Amino acid sequence: MDLPVIWFVAIAVLWTGYFVLEGFDFGVGMLLPVLGRDDTDRRVMINSIGPVWDGNEVWLITAVGATFAAFPAWYGSMLSGFYLPILAILLALIARGVAFEYRGKVDDPRWRARWDVAIVAGSTVPAFLWGVLFANLVHGVPMDAEHVVTAGPLDLFSPYALLGGALTLVLFTLHGAVFLTLKTDGPVRRRARHAIARLALPAVPATVAFLGWTQAEHGASWTLPLAVVAVLALVAGSGLAVRGREGWAFSATMVAVAAVSVVIFGSMFPTVLPSTTDPAFSLTVRGAASAPYTLTVLSWIGVFLFPLVIAYQAWSYWVFRRRVTREHITPTPASRHFREGESALPVPRLDG
């Protein structure tokens, strides 16, 4: 077995899972001031992702950990070259997580408004910068013979990278709006359905432009059908959501996000980090991989743990499958210290 290739595919699957699952709760966070007309609406939105948002981030932790273990050279070059954007993403995710925890601690509108800003910013910054970073992984960056990225911070924001960031930003926002039509009811659901048509206007052209550019310069023959699938799924998902077919709509936007991710990783292979300084300095899958023994041990660990992660996440989504409505939101005295998204079974009472 070609373990470096297998682990590259495994990491691509982990990142794809992260974008599909974390993408919609980034979208919900970004839509908080748009669809949440009052505090009850905003609590409905937050509670729709309350039981799952932190579990979605497990995919990120696993993907980064697997990259560190299976491709240490790739991990080191990315961390050195993308240090400031990665730091910005990390700080945004921290602020977002703290905001979910502390928003309902004090019964004060100004207190909640400040944490709402943190949720919006903590969702917007990663949604944009992940697209920028992965566009750079496809297009390449200045890198020397020691695989040290020599690009400055502004070098990472090329037109192609900015287009990648714009794509993930609008795609995740649309994905989040479709999720809200599936997971909520009442005013939030109606506003989300109305917002989908407006969000599709920039999302579809951005997807066509980015995937077209990627396919023209970096794509393989087998990634072209996936790029077409991504666009068609996005159009279909938007139309289905507007017509009230929320389950099929959310499945379609999941397919669209997954297809975009697969096109990105397919366009990277077999060069995980191209060097624009000299192609000979580029990092390849086999050149960046750990020793065979390390990859073998990782493979046995992954065989046992990966199905458990999938099973746990599937169970958690099944348990919290009911819609969230304004009727589920009850006044919370300041003396109660519950998290946003905390619930009681068997009928969820998702109040913060």
What DSSP string runs through 7-53? HHHHHHHHHHHHHHHHHHHHHHHHTHHHH--SHHHHHHHHHHHTTTH
- Annotate 105-147 with DSSP letters as a single string: SS--HHHHHHHHHHHHHHHHHHHHHHHHHHHHHHH-B-B-TT-
Give residue-wise pLDDT tens across range 269-307: 999 999 999 999 999 999 999 999 999 999 998 888 888
Give residue-wise pLDDT tens across range 37-46: 888 999 999 9
Give the separation between CA 170 and CA 37, rounded to whole angstroms.
21
Query: Average of pLDDT values for 257-263?
Result: 97
Q: Which residues pair with 184 in a beta bridge?
A: 324
Neighbouring CB atoms inside 10 A of 349's CB total 14
Give the pLDDT confidence score for residue 331 in this predicted structure. Answer: 61
Give the pLDDT confidence score for residue 345 in this predicted structure. Answer: 37
Give the separation between CA 18 and CA 134, rounded to whole angstroms.
13
* 17-21, 143-147, 330-334, 338-342: which is most confident: 17-21
CA–CA distances in Å: residue 239 to residues 20, 62, 120: 19, 34, 26
Q: Is the pLDDT reported for residue 104 higher than 60?
A: yes
Q: Tally helices (H) and strands (E) across the chain.
A: 13, 2
The helix or strand, by DSSP H or E, that contains position 271, with its residue range, turns out to be strand 271-273
Polymer length of the chain: 352
Classify 106 as helix, strand or coil: coil
Give residue-wise pLDDT tens across range 74-101: 999 988 889 999 999 999 999 999 999 8
Least confident range of 19-23, 24-28, 171-175, 317-321? 317-321
Neighbouring CB atoms inside 10 A of 146's CB total 8
Q: Is the pLDDT reported for residue 344 higher than 60?
A: no
Q: Phi and psi of 143, rounded to 5°? A: -150, 135
- Are the C-beta atoms of 164 and 137 separated by less than 8 Å? no
Give the separation between CA 67 and CA 168, rounded to whole angstroms.
22
What the chain holds in terms of domains, given with CATH numbers, is 3-322 (1.20.1630.10)
Classify 189 as helix, strand or coil: helix
